[in-house]
């Protein structure tokens, strides 16, 4: 057993997988003659339709001559052609640099990993925000229009396989990758969070270091719990004058 270190864990790779992914660069001098490898993974999202989708995928691979690594799509007893490799739980950050494109259902994490690796992307959405991410991919030129799982056919998958290997799509994916790698995600997330905080509605007017919890409507004031306590105890206001304050409009 051979081990290759990924970003999050060490991954055991048997000799066949090493050869398939050309991890030892044995084909360095004729690498251009090797057909591209596409990552295809839908987790367990395909449900009862997985057999049909697997058949569509294999037919599309046969028609295009591409190779693929299949994640959570083929079962252990499925007989796969030589151009398809079944893999288990593999770090996307480790695997994606070894493929030419990715095809998946568009979970947010998988989508981010593909874009971070600079890979053209085919989205096969099934529900929820997966359709949103499919639109994002298409809008940025990183992949074709999303192919809803229930409408997936051999012909439209063949077209998508070919599309993601066009030079302009690869260039768009690389531009997205470069932009992501330049960005400090934690800092940008914090900046965006702070930018959209409604600070004026959150602060107590009489003591801005505290959060406003109550409204004194007749005085047009929003005050903290501490200020409210002082005003009530001193007899300046009645408890009935206090109304809960919301930072939402």
- Residue 188 domain-assigned (yes or no): no
Give how many domains the chain has, as a whole number: 2
Residues 100, 4: Cα–Cα separation, whole Å: 19
Please report the pLDDT score of residue 90 as a whole number.
81
| Residue 33 reports pLDDT greater than 60 | no
Please report the pLDDT score of residue 81 as a whole number.
87
Q: Same domain for 40 and 123?
A: yes
Nearest to residue 67, comparing CAs of 94, 99, 27, 104? Answer: 99
Q: Same domain for 167 and 228?
A: no
Q: What is the dihedral of CA 197, 200, 201, 202, to 10 degrees?
A: 70
Segment 88-92 shows an average pLDDT of 82
Nearest to residue 159, comparing CAs of 51, 54, 64, 38? Answer: 64
Q: Same domain for 29 and 151?
A: yes
Nearest to residue 123, comparing CAs of 201, 179, 115? Answer: 115
pLDDT-based confidence at residue 91 (cuts at 50, 70, 90) = confident
| Residue 129 reports pLDDT greater than 80 | yes
Q: Same domain for 99 and 212?
A: no
Q: Same domain for 137 and 70?
A: yes
Place of tokens 């593909």: 114
pLDDT-based confidence at residue 35 (cuts at 50, 70, 90) = confident
As given in the structure block, the two tokens for residue 66 are 């591409």
Mean pLDDT, the chain, rounded, equals 85
pLDDT-based confidence at residue 133 (cuts at 50, 70, 90) = very high
- Residue 89 domain-assigned (yes or no): yes
* Weakest mean pLDDT among 25-29, 87-91, 234-238: 25-29
| Residue 24 reports pLDDT greater than 80 | no
Residues 103, 160: Cα–Cα separation, whole Å: 9
Segment 100-116 shows an average pLDDT of 94
- Residue 193 domain-assigned (yes or no): no
Q: Same domain for 73 and 133?
A: yes
- Residue 205 domain-assigned (yes or no): yes
Q: Same domain for 70 and 163?
A: yes
Residues 102, 120: Cα–Cα separation, whole Å: 6
- Residue 76 domain-assigned (yes or no): yes
Helix (H) or strand (E) holding 214: strand 214-216
| Residue 148 reports pLDDT greater than 60 | yes
pLDDT-based confidence at residue 247 (cuts at 50, 70, 90) = confident
| Residue 17 reports pLDDT greater than 60 | no
pTM value surpassing 0.85: no
* Weakest mean pLDDT among 70-74, 143-147, 179-183: 70-74
Q: Same domain for 139 and 212?
A: no
Q: Same domain for 169 and 203?
A: no
| Residue 234 reports pLDDT greater than 80 | yes
Please report the pLDDT score of residue 212 as a whole number.
95
Domain boundaries, position 222: 199-244
- Residue 194 domain-assigned (yes or no): no
| Residue 214 reports pLDDT greater than 50 | yes
- Residue 126 domain-assigned (yes or no): yes
* Weakest mean pLDDT among 24-28, 56-60, 130-134: 24-28
Domain of 98, CATH number, reads: 3.40.50.2000
Q: Same domain for 173 and 234?
A: no
Q: Same domain for 88 and 136?
A: yes
- Residue 174 domain-assigned (yes or no): yes
Beta strands in 79-181 (DSSP E): 84-87, 101-104, 121-123
Q: Same domain for 173 and 205?
A: no
Residues 69, 3: Cα–Cα separation, whole Å: 18
Categorise residue 66: left if φ over 0, alpha if ψ from -120 to 50, beta otherwise: beta
């Amino acid at each position: 057993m051979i081990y290759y270190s990924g970003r999050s864990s060490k991954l055991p790779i048997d000799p066949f997988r090493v050869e398939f992914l050309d991890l030892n660069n044995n084909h360095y001098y004729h690498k251009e003659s090797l057909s591209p490898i596409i990552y295809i993974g839908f987790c367990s999202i395909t449900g009862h339709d997985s057999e049909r989708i697997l058949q569509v995928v294999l037919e599309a691979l046969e028609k295009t001559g591409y190779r693929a690594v299949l994640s959570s799509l083929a079962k252990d007893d499925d007989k796969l052609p030589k151009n398809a490799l079944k893999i288990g739980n593999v770090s996307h950050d480790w695997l994606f640099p070894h493929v030419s494109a990715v095809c998946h259902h568009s979970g947010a994490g998988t989508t981010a990993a593909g874009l971070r690796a600079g890979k053209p992307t085919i989205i096969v959405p099934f529900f929820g925000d997966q359709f949103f991410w499919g639109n994002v991919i298409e809008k940025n030129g990183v992949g074709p229009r999303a192919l809803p799982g229930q409408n997936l056919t051999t012909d439209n998958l063949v077209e998508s396989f070919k599309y993601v290997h066009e030079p302009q799509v690869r260039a768009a994916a690389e531009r997205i990758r470069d932009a992501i790698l330049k960005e400090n995600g934690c800092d940008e997330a914090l900046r965006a969070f702070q930018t959209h905080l409604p600070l004026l509605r959150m602060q107590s007017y009489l003591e801005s270091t505290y959060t406003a919890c109550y409204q004194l409507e007749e005085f047009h004031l929003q005050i903290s719990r501490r200020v409210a306590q002082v005003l009530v105890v001193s007899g300046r206001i009645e408890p009935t004058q206090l109304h809960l304050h919301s930072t939402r409009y």
